[in-house]
């Protein structure tokens, strides 16, 4: 699956994922750790870069840069994917995601 290239602030080309690509990849597996999403889509960023995501009753943190974090947040809010939290020490950070609905295959 080709990942579109986008220019970053330095003018260099960087690959970026789309919401449908993330959804399709996550739904094709039983569980996807966050580091696997970064690797699969070539998502660059600092190790401590997180995006806050406000869900119905809580705020969680996704270890992705802002753009991809917002795409994943839309999938979480839409109920397309679920999430596993690491509560160590006490910050609810997403360490993996999984599909919530069965994937229909043609």
Summarised one tens digit per residue, pLDDT across range 67-78 is 999 999 999 999
Domain tally for the chain?
A: 1
pLDDT of residue 82: 93
- Helix (H) or strand (E) holding 6, with range, is strand 5-7
Note whether residue 7 is domain-resident: no
Note whether residue 104 is domain-resident: no
pLDDT per residue over 43-98, tens digit each? 887 777 889 999 988 899 998 999 999 999 999 999 999 999 987 777 788 989 99
Note whether residue 51 is domain-resident: yes
Note whether residue 105 is domain-resident: no
Structure-block tokens of residue 61: 């943190």
First to last CA, the chain: 18
Task: List the domain range (segments joined by +) for residue 75.
Answer: 16-99
Note whether residue 11 is domain-resident: no
Residue 7 φ then ψ, to 5°:
-85, 135
Q: How far is CA 15 from CA 3, 42, 105, in A?
A: 6, 6, 27
């Amino acid at each position: 699956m080709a990942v579109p290239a986008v220019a970053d602030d330095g003018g260099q080309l960087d690959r970026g994922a789309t919401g449908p690509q993330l959804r399709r990849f996550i739904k094709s597996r039983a569980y996807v750790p966050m580091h696997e999403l970064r690797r699969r889509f070539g998502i660059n960023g600092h190790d401590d870069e997180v995006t806050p995501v406000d869900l119905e009753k809580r705020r969680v943190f996704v270890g992705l840069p802002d753009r991809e974090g917002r795409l994943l947040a839309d999938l979480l809010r839409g109920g397309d994917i679920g999430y596993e939290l690491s509560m160590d020490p006490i910050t609810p950070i997403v360490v993996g995601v999984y599909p919530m609905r069965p994937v229909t295959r043609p």
